[in-house]
Structure 1
Amino acid sequence: MADNDAAILESMTETSASTSLDALRRHVSEGQVCQAPHQADTGSDAFLSGSIPASTGISTSTLHTNNDDDDSAYGILDSIVKRAAELTVVQKHDRGTTRMPSSGDENGSETQVNGPRPSDSPVDDASLNMEGLESAIAYLVADGSDTHLLRLADVFNRLKTAYVSSKQSEAKLVSKCKELVAEISHTATKVNKAVVLCQKDRSTITLLQKEIAKAWGVVEASREKELKDQETIQALKEEVDALNAGSVSNMALAAPHRRRETLAGSNNDEVGFRQLLAEKEQLGRDLCDANLRADTLQSELDDARTRLEAMNNDRLTLDIEYGELRDVLNTKKSDLERENRNKEKLESTLKSLTETVIKRDQELLLKTNESRVIKENLARLEASVKEERTRAERAEKEKEHLVTRATRVQHEYEEQVATTQKLLSDNQRYEAELSKLDVDAARFRDETRNVTRMRDQLTKRIKQLEAIRLDVEIERDQYKSTSADRTHEIELAKKEVEGLKKQVESLTRDRDVAQKSLVKAAGSAQRHLSLVRVAERERRNLEHEISGHKEEATKARKLIWALERERDSRAGEASRITEQLQAREEEFKLKEMLIFDGRKRMDDLERKLKEQQSLYENVRTDRNHYSKNLMECQDEITEMKRKIKIMNHQIEQLKEEISLKEAAHVKQNFEHNKLEKEKEGMSLTIGKLQTQYEEVTKQLQNQRAEEARLKHIIDDADAQAARLRKDHEATLQERDLLGTQLIRRNEEMHLLYEKIKLLTSTLASGESAYRERLEDIRVLKLEVKRLRREGAVLKNEAANSDVLRNEIFKVQRELLRERTRVKVLEEELESPMNIHRWRKLAGSDPSTFELITKIHALQKRLIAKTEEVVEKELAVQQATRLYHDVKISLQRQPGPEVLEELRMVRSALKSKVSECKSLASELNMYHSQTNEASFTIEKLGQELQDLKRRYYEEKRKEQALHKTRSDAPEHDVGLGGRPLCVHDWG
């Protein structure tokens, strides 16, 4: 980097030295031409009388030469060239010390010049050389009498400031590059951390999914075990029924003489029945344990799902942060690339400057050789020029007067031509702008029609949705009134909701179509910009052609007097054109007002459209609220049904207990019949219990099917949530892209504002300079009129003089000769063969010539300024057009719509979450129902055990009664002479 800086500084110092010396030599040669001999002598004396420092390496003896010699300025230049060459040689080779010979020292003394030490940097050497040159130029310009040396000092100061500013900007760019590199490394570390976290989250998600699969496997195994237990219970019930039937038949057919055998068999049956009851109880306990395990597994599954959702949310946040970091990284990369491009541009400009400096050095060498040849030629021609000076003074004065008149007239003619061409170009430009405005107005009208058509379509759809909402409300009332047909109407409502979803999807498609049309409009705007650039290139080509025509117009100086007569008429035409221009400007302002009104109408239409969209959102929220209320009502209905079923079951139980109590109260005297009826009742109750058990098993199966259906619904909801997450991520990416585009547009607008401010300031300065030039033109016109009057008076005086005719004839011949010489000189001035030919002769008036050169310079500056003003006006207009286009594109960008859609997606996600919660609550409700059913099964089992206990007690009583009867005498005689029976005792 230091080597590059040294090379750049070296080239800049060489450039500054060569350009400053070239300018000094050129200005000295011009001063030699422009000044009179006595003035040149005094100027050289004043210049040579100044003190020159020794650091420049130019001795005063070199500068002190003969005042009459014209080579004094060239001697000064040669000494400065030698000094600059030695300084560059010292800088290139880094010598310790060099000895520079003084060109004018008679004794051959040498001046010691300290070169840069090897340890010094090239930048310090260059700064020392720059300081040396600055001090040399300061001493040369200390007198302040020579304007050319002052110009040389001005050029050197400008080069120095440019060099300092370039070094400062380079340091700023280097620091900025370092900051950007550090920031990029920091963001890269953040991105790597985010990627590692995402990988960890994915691994944990896969582990949780495996655990969930294992849990589902355990649940399936428990279900299979539960089914097997139910099958065993059913088989045991069938065995119990068979045993009960066998016991009844044995009791009916048993004979009195086999009572003891039946007693033993009944005891064996009782033991088997007890074993069956124990097995049934064990199976019930196993069923309860399986249900508990299923509940725990379900809770673990819910916990795993919640953890999975939390991890998904964390992953989404990490993805969002990753996207933000990626956007920041992209912006930083783009900034770094832009800075690199700027640096490359600066380096290319520096290379081009160094190449131009080398070329200038070569040209300087060629010019020095040419100057030596010209010196020799001038030395030979000087004698002849001195002889002809005295003769040519009078003719020179007349020629100067004629040249001043010709230049004034030419200047006026060129100004008139420039004004007419400018007015014509402005007229064409305004016509083109008006046509563009008409096209834009037509395009805006078409867009307003499209917007109104879309608004009408949206209003129609909103009305349709309102009607659908009213229908849904009516159907909700019908649901409240008629709960029997609720399932069919729910299906219809679902179909209508699907239709609404389809309508919403169609609306989103319309939105996408509108976005595509926006993109097409942006493309058309880019095409318009390309057309504007093509028109700008054509305008530049036309300006080049105009400049060519101007050069051709210089050849038509013979028509100057005729064009002067037409000037007044042109002035009238110019005033008329200015009036037309003002009228066109007023029309342009009216067009702008119309466009502004159209934009206001567009804003009103957009505001109404947003209001309609807000109304549509309100309707949508109401629909969601009503659907939620409908779900809650359905949940309440199912809860009431469940309670009614429980109450009916309790009522049936109470009825059975009442009937049993009434039967016991009525049949106290008929115990045997009561026992038989109780047996029948027990068999009936056992059948009822079996039917109830079957119903409960069916309910369990239905609940399992419902659970599977709910799981399927949950999976669908999860898939839909994932899809919504993807849509949300896509919308976030679109939002980020729109945000970056908006930031870039704002930066471009800021730059355009700055350019507009600069152009307005330059326009103001150009207008002030233009007014000053107009005042100068007016003064010159008055001078021309005065000279014409004097010429007319002189013609009247010379009309009657015969003596002066011959002299006039001679003067005319000389005038013709001088005119031919003037023509030749003008042609040579247009295509100069020798730059140093034109020099003032003795006896010339330097003040008038300086005025003429100043007028020429001011004319050129005025033309250049007018061209710059025209270019800047075009640039301002182009900037305003770009600003309007950017503003329109920003207005068309769908910022609020995207936010609205994001809000809709969030509300839909919330509704889905609420639906999932409601499904989870329903699942818990079904679990509670299964628990209640298991509780009822246990209660029925207990009742069955009570009935069996009572049955066995009755059986024991009956056996005891039979035993007492068997122990009594078989042939006891009663009072009536017949054997006694137990029935008689009863």
Structure 2
Amino acid sequence: MSAGSRASGSDDEPLVPEDFDDDFYTNLMDKVPEITKALRQKDTHDNADNVQRMVICSNRYKSDWHMEQLHGQELDEEIKRLKDRLEHVNKLSRMDQATIAELRTVIESAWMQKDAAQSREQAAQDEMLKMREKVDSLEQMVEHLSDKRSGLQRKCMAEPETSNESYNNRKRLDTLEKELAQTRSEEAKANEKIQQIKVHNAQLTKMKVRQNLQILSLKTNLDHLQTQHNTVSNKLAKTVVELEYTTQDRDEDKRALAQRISLLKIREDEIIKLKRENAKLLKTEENTTRKFVTLNDARVKAEEENVRLKNQLNTQDKELESMRRIVHQFEKNNEHLTKERDSLRSDLYAEHQTAEQTDEQFQESQHEIKSLKETLHAMEVRQKKLQDDYTKLKKEQTKKVDEIQHLVDKIDALQNEIQLKENYEIELKRTISDLEQKASNLQRQHDTLLNEKSSFARNLQASDDKHCKLEKQIVKLQEIIENYKNKVTLRDADIGRLQLQIDKLEKERRLLKSEVRYAQLGHQHTRCELQERKKECDKYSKSLQEDNQKLSQFKREVEHLRDEKNTVSATLTKCNEESVQLKDQLQTLQIAYDQSEKHYAQCQEDIRLMRVEIKNLRTERNVLRKDRENSADLRQELLQMHRLLNQERIKARAMQEEMMTPMNVHRWRSLKGRDPEKMDLIFKIQALRKQILQQNVSALQQEQALEESQRLYEALKEFMLKLPSHKVRAELNNVRATLSSKERKLKALMAELHVKDLDEKNNTQKLDELKLRLTDAKSQLNQERRQKQKLLEEHQLLVQMQAQCFSAPPTMQRTLGAGFKLISGV
């Protein structure tokens, strides 16, 4: 009951859970050595090796999965960084827009200031004209006074000098001459100042013209910057859209990966089931092979018995009938065995087909994994391209930011110069007002003019001092600005160096990560190797103990082998003869197998070529049939397209005539004032004509694109029709399966040959050892014979000596010890 319940539970429950953890995996890996031991104890070393290979492959797949997870995390981090950079770029673009708006306001204020300065210049020019008129009137007054003075002088010369009136008049004349000289000197000074003011005004006009040109250039630069900013914003929008597409593609790829991983898990489960079935089939194969071997042994024994019986036929006539019955029974058994062998071969062929199908599924899964890796590689290349584009955009943006800062600095410098010039204008206006006051007060108060002149000189000195101070401040500010620029350049260089260092550190970090991973893998491999080496050491220690025991046994067996040396020599001769015969048989079998393989390969190639040719001819026949069926539809479509072409050509000719003979708009210049509605209609007609032309051009481009797409579609159709069908693939898979099965058989035969060679080598080694033992035994026997001969010779000598002693003559006196004579009694 317990075994049945376990079997039912194993059938209902899955072998592998849907969500398995690392603990489950480690438990499985811990059970692997026990499985391999059990398989090796059952003499299934190939299955044990396959289990170890599966373990190594699973470890590699696990490491690859971890690597992919880490790579996905790195990609997520890079996407986050890109998003942060995009946000930073958006902020910078907003800042740029704000700076552009500020620059616009500054330019508008500069234009307002320019208009105010122009109005002030016009007012100053009007005042200068008034001053010139006053100066002309004063000159006329001076001429009139000079005429009066000359008349008075004449009168004074005519009058006598003694009169008091003449004396007073002379004094007055002297005073008037002095005043005239002073007024003339003041007039000369005033004229010099007026000339200086004119020169200064000319310089100011030149400076204003330059400023206007600079403002226009700044406007053009700002427009250019706006266009560049718009292009950059468009590029950023495109990059954002591309990033969104890439994120969508990444999500789709992740989903596809998850689906593929689930499919791979399902297929892995199927592969595990198939492997278990294969293991069962292999067990059945082993059992069948064992049975087949036992049957072969029985057949060999039966043949030997048949030979013996045939030898005994001549001697045993009485037992013929019984032996014939036995022979018939053996033949029946052989037929039964052949039937069982055929059934087993059919079962083996079916099992080979199932194994080949599993191999094909595994190969398809490997191809899918390779395609997924290729898609991941393409995604990585796309991301690298996007990163390069993003870096380029960032560099361009930094350049534009530097240019904007440079322009802002220039605008600040120009604003400072404008303020200085406004101060100059204010000071000049003040001087002009002072001159007006002086001109109005020339006639009334000459003393006040001197005081005003001194105050004016002081003001001029103060203004000059202020001007010098302002120039010094400007120079200092320029030096400070240059210092700041140098600092900014140095900081940019430092930032670039730091960025390079950061990139290098990231590369080193990635390299270190990869090295650590490889080191971990190497550590795992070394651990596995150490465990294997430990196991091998244990095996070697056990083998040493066994060898010591064997040595003791061999020492015991040496004594027995001395007795069996004659029998061994006879068996050795027989074995040598049998080995020579087996080698000859193996050579003949190998030659026959190579010839059959070559013939089979040639036949397969011929069959494959004939099948490919037949399939190509069939595809061409199908294509021709379809073309013949679609010819009528294509003719109708051609007629419709010709009609549409004629209509479009008529329209195009009409449009060309209208374009070649356009409406004379110059006659209707007065329509803007008289009839603006007609003029608007004319402009609308022109705009509509342009739109129609653009639409025609776009339609032509679309038609060309459609034609190209149709051509590509037809080419792809032809290519797909020329491709081989799934039957060819199935046949190829069958051929591959047969080839793989034959390769396996070849490997098995080679392994058997290798085993036989090893057995022969072991036999030769044993023969050499036995020969050495025989030589040792012979040498020992010779030594023993020599010793025996020596002992025999010594024994013979002793016997001869004893015989000589006992055969002495009777005349000799017998004596005892010490020379006493023996006297026989009377």
After TM superposition, the score normalised by the length of structure 1 is 0.27
After TM superposition, the score normalised by the length of structure 2 is 0.31
Between 1 and 2, higher relative CO (CA 8 Å, sep ≥ 6) is seen in: 1
